[in-house]
Amino acid sequence: MSRVERQGSGNPAKPRIAVVLKGYPRLSETFIAQEILSLETSGADITIVSLRHPTDGKTHPVHAKIAAPVVYLPEYLYQEPLRVLRGWWHARTQPGYQAARRAWLADLKRDPTPNRIRRWGQALVLAAELDPAISMLYAHFLHTPGSVARYAAGISHRPWSVSAHAKDIWLTPEWEKREKLADCAWAVTCTAYGHAHLDSLAPGKTTLSYHGLDLAALPSPPETRPPRRGENQDDRIELVSVGRAVPKKGFDGLLRALASLPPDLYWRWTHIGGGGELGKLKQQAETLKISERITWKGARAQAEVFDAYHEADLFILPSRIAEDGDRDGLPNVLMEAASQGLCCLASDVAGVSELLTHGETGWLTPIDDVDALAAAITTLARDPVQRLKLGAAGLDRVTHCFDHAAGLSIIRERLGISAGPLDETMDAAQ
């Protein structure tokens, strides 16, 4: 039995789908796990294919509910040379091998990197080991997972589709995006901002599908929040941010803004998330002499993140467009914070304004404007009535516009999954 084959015969009436991910499970990709669980609940037979082994030490509760088997492709080809050789030996006999190889060589000519070679090797293994009953491949992220899915689908003459999000849209070369969108059966993306870009490259190929939240599975917002104003240490304002320590999140700018807050404003900032620049940020906080007011929690499971939302007065996400063009789409953590009635302050970048309307459902500041960010924190810290008003409006917007069921129905329809238990539950609630 192949490694990419579900044990047992399965239910032949269910769509058999291989979902290709860069890594699984990942704490920062709760929305993907929730989508997989919802597709399973709707009747899909899922096999998860991961290009990397997990690096997070924890998981979210949603991961424990997913029944799909997980197959890990060779993360680096030299680690499993016999498996890669067997993959090539079998894949070369498949009907689409020569055409897929020509497509890969054309890509390699324009992108002569070890990464491009690795994706071809992973695709050979996937195409060779894929259970014949699996009818389609569905990749999350347009860049590397999309490449592996595209090559493997071409080799095995299967359709493939893709869900595009943020970094994968903005750091993938335009020639590659055009060709992948032309080649895939369909694509979805989770912001109108990203959709406008992809639709300009391949008109009509991409559909907007907000991934949203499974609101029924989330904790209820706290009934009340303390009317803190930061007037003394016992009344200090609790600020929280959730996000990886990477340039596009803008946490270095936030540290500068925090350092410039009025001396008579008492505050504490909690950061949740891992990331390669965490050490650099901690050193910056030391240099700015604000480290004693900061708690660095690192990556945390979802329950701990929601505890932090409940304890906070203000959520801050100062995202920017990084020098390499990387940027957020519509960060899931913003929707999560808003779902708890927590006032949200964010940079007006990418798809953030699709959730937060300045002064109505949240507070927006210009990108990389440290003075404006500090002024906004000060204003909101000293105005608990405004925070409660914006938090309530943000909760209302998430509830009515960002429930995951609407986006899921689009994806489910494209995957050929008929109405299932999820629909019955929704119908009963209406």
Cα 384 from Cα 421, distance rounded (Å): 42
Give a yes or no: residue 5 inside a domain: no
Task: Find the distance separating the first CA and the last CA of the chain, reported in whole Å.
Answer: 45
Asked whether residue 270 falls in the same domain as residue 291, the answer is: yes
Q: Are 382 and 230 within 8 A, CB to CB? A: yes
Residue 112, both tokens: 């002569």
Asked whether residue 163 falls in the same domain as residue 228, the answer is: no
Tokens 């047992």 belong to: 8
Query: Which pLDDT belongs to residue 15?
Result: 84
Residues listed for the chain? 430
Query: Which pLDDT belongs to residue 307?
Result: 97
Give a yes or no: residue 8 inside a domain: no
Give a yes or no: residue 10 inside a domain: no
Phi-psi region of 420 (alpha: psi -120 to 50; beta: other; left: phi over 0): beta
Asked whether residue 28 falls in the same domain as residue 120, the answer is: yes
Asked whether residue 376 falls in the same domain as residue 265, the answer is: yes
Write out the residue range of the structural domain in which residue 282 sits. 220-401
For the stretch 112-134, what's the b/e string if a residue is b when 16 or more beta carbons lie within 10 angstroms of its beta carbon?
eeeebebbbbbbbbbbbbbbeeb
Asked whether residue 244 falls in the same domain as residue 305, the answer is: yes
Sign of torsion, CA 346 350 352 357?
A: positive
User: How many C-beta atoms lie closer than 10 Å to residue 359's C-beta?
Assistant: 12
Query: Which pLDDT belongs to residue 4?
Result: 57
DSSP 8-state code for residue 7:
S
Give a yes or no: residue 6 inside a domain: no
Q: E strands along 260-351, which residues?
A: 267-272, 294-298, 314-317, 344-347
Collapsing DSSP states into helix, strand and coil, what is residue 182?
Answer: helix
Residue 20, both tokens: 């290709």
Q: Are 162 and 20 within 8 A, CB to CB? A: no
Collapsing DSSP states into helix, strand and coil, what is residue 57?
Answer: coil
Q: How many domains does the chain have?
A: 2
Cα 56 from Cα 60, distance rounded (Å): 11
Q: E strands along 12-165, which residues?
A: 16-23, 45-52, 70-72, 136-140, 160-164
Domain containing residue 271: CATH number: 3.40.50.2000
Asked whether residue 288 falls in the same domain as residue 251, the answer is: yes
Cα 402 from Cα 409, distance rounded (Å): 13
Tokens 């467009």 belong to: 321
Query: Which pLDDT belongs to residue 13?
Result: 59
Tokens 């204003």 belong to: 379
Asked whether residue 230 falls in the same domain as residue 130, the answer is: no
Asked whether residue 397 falls in the same domain as residue 265, the answer is: yes
Give a yes or no: residue 62 inside a domain: yes
Query: Which pLDDT belongs to residue 172?
Result: 95
Task: Name the packing angle between helices 332-339 and 302-311 (round to 10°).
Answer: 50
Asked whether residue 276 falls in the same domain as residue 306, the answer is: yes
Tokens 């492709």 belong to: 73
Cα 157 from Cα 254, distance rounded (Å): 49
Instruction: Return all residues near 393 (Cβ < 8 A) that are at least 6 apart.
Output: 360, 361, 362
Query: Which pLDDT belongs to residue 108?
Result: 98
Q: Is 229 exposed, middle or buried (0-12, 13-18, 19+ CB in 10 A)?
A: middle
Give a yes or no: residue 408 inside a domain: yes
DSSP 8-state code for residue 74:
P
Phi, psi dihedrals of residue 388, rounded to the nearest 5°: -65, -40
Give a yes or no: residue 174 inside a domain: yes
Query: Which pLDDT belongs to residue 8?
Result: 38
Phi, psi dihedrals of residue 185, rounded to the nearest 5°: -70, -40
Strand order in the sheet with 314-317: 294-298, 267-272, 237-242, 314-317, 344-347, 363-365
Asked whether residue 170 falls in the same domain as residue 199, the answer is: yes
Q: E strands along 77-167, which residues?
A: 136-140, 160-164
Per-residue model confidence as pLDDT tens for the chain (430 residues): 344 544 333 444 578 999 999 999 988 788 899 899 989 998 899 999 999 998 887 788 889 999 999 999 999 999 999 999 999 999 999 999 999 999 999 999 999 999 999 999 999 999 999 999 999 999 999 999 999 999 999 999 999 999 999 889 999 999 999 999 999 999 999 999 999 999 999 999 999 999 888 888 899 999 999 999 999 999 999 999 999 999 999 999 999 999 999 999 999 999 999 999 999 999 999 999 999 999 999 999 889 999 999 999 999 999 999 999 988 889 999 999 999 999 999 999 999 999 999 999 999 999 999 999 999 999 999 999 999 999 999 999 999 999 888 888 999 999 988 755 444 433 333 3
Asked whether residue 379 falls in the same domain as residue 424, the answer is: no
| Overall pTM surpassing 0.85 (yes/no) | no
Give a yes or no: residue 3 inside a domain: no
Amino acid at 418: S
Phi, psi dihedrals of residue 318, rounded to the nearest 5°: -90, 50
